[in-house]
Amino acid sequence: MPPDWQDAAAYKYTEKLDLAGWAWEFLRRNPEYKADWAEFLKKKAQLEKTYGKITSWKTKALEAEPKAWHYDPPKKPGESDAVWSMRCIAEGVDLGRSSIMIGPAKKWGLRQFYDPDLTVGGELRFLPGINVRIWSHVSDVEAPIVSAGRGDFAYIEIDLRKGINEQLSHAKSRVTALQKKLIQADVLKVARDITKPQIKKFSSYLRILDAYASIPRPPVKAIAKMIFPKKTNEPGAYDGNKAVHEMHKQARQWCDSGYRRLI
């Protein structure tokens, strides 16, 4: 259950969150994510009626059960695994098959599916945001970059038959340039500390998201009075209401996709 949005102290735990923790706080409030989790629980419950409590997805029984697997791209009705695989290869489409816990999680950038009621702990892991590998050679030919599938790392190949210092110097300049390029393209985030002003703003985002998700949902004026008590909300101005609307819009952006910028 989310904290009581009316109690600012209930969000004090966010002061100790790292960037991944903040990413999870936004993601777990995403309505679509919560709907996907509910659908997963429904499918899991149906499977457990037939196969008993599932403690591992790597069993012979589940291996042969199509309903236990997530196919990307989706299988067509009545299509077997073999036919699905052949069709994807013929169409030149990358294919993936994973359990219904892992498959949908990848959609959200997670290593596995997590209960949205879960508070941040050591088990929660996001997938890396960028996969690159650098083959660094001392030559006039530009070193190619190919996918390594290992996360936000650059792998440098050093030719031991040649001078090491020169190769390291060349590799350093290439890696530095690549890092700068990826940061500018907003596909790579370099680890940094979150500032107190950011914590305060993010905490307000969470409170507003939780207020809007409350049943029944409180009036905007009530939310403004609680979160922005110093803003006037008189006829003709309604600064408090405007602040709530704008901050809710920004908060939703962090929920929908902005959280990925934090990981």
Last residue of a domain, one of 67, 92, 107: 107
State yes or no: pLDDT of 58 exceeds 50: yes
Do 196 and 234 lie in one domain? The reply is yes
Do 223 and 234 lie in one domain? The reply is yes
Is residue 3 in some structural domain?
Answer: no
Do 49 and 16 lie in one domain? The reply is no
State yes or no: pLDDT of 108 exceeds 80: yes
**CB count, 10 Å around CB of 128?**
16
For the whole model, what pTM was predicted?
A: 0.73
Do 16 and 75 lie in one domain? The reply is no
What range does the domain containing 231 cover? Answer: 8-29+191-262
Residues 159-179 have pLDDT tens digits of 778 888 888 888 888 888 888
Do 177 and 221 lie in one domain? The reply is no
Domain count, the chain: 3
Do 21 and 59 lie in one domain? The reply is no
Do 196 and 174 lie in one domain? The reply is no
What is the residue-averaged pLDDT of the chain? 83
Is residue 113 in some structural domain?
Answer: no
Residues 61-83 have pLDDT tens digits of 998 898 999 998 888 988 888 89
Is residue 66 in some structural domain?
Answer: yes
Q: Do 25 and 67 meet the contact criterion of CB atoms below 8 Å apart?
A: no
Per-residue pLDDT band at 252 (split at 50, 70, 90) = very high
Interstrand relation of 133-134 and 145-146 (parallel, antiparallel or unpaired):
antiparallel
Distance CA 241, CA 250 (A): 14
Per-residue pLDDT band at 153 (split at 50, 70, 90) = low
Is residue 93 in some structural domain?
Answer: yes
Residues 83-107 have pLDDT tens digits of 999 998 888 888 888 999 998 898 8
Do 258 and 201 lie in one domain? The reply is yes
Last residue of a domain, one of 90, 107, 124: 107
- Compute the chain's Rg from CA coordinates: 24
Residues 137-146 have pLDDT tens digits of 444 444 444 4
Do 13 and 52 lie in one domain? The reply is no
Do 53 and 98 lie in one domain? The reply is yes
Is residue 124 in some structural domain?
Answer: no
Interstrand relation of 133-134 and 96-99 (parallel, antiparallel or unpaired):
unpaired
Do 75 and 91 lie in one domain? The reply is yes
Per-residue pLDDT band at 9 (split at 50, 70, 90) = very high
State yes or no: pLDDT of 154 exceeds 80: no
Is residue 122 in some structural domain?
Answer: no
Do 39 and 21 lie in one domain? The reply is no
Is residue 120 in some structural domain?
Answer: no
Tell which wins on pLDDT, 217 or 147: 217
Last residue of a domain, one of 144, 162, 184: 184
Of 15-29, 50-64, 146-160, minimum mean pLDDT range: 146-160
Is residue 156 in some structural domain?
Answer: yes
Per-residue model confidence (pLDDT) at position 171: 80
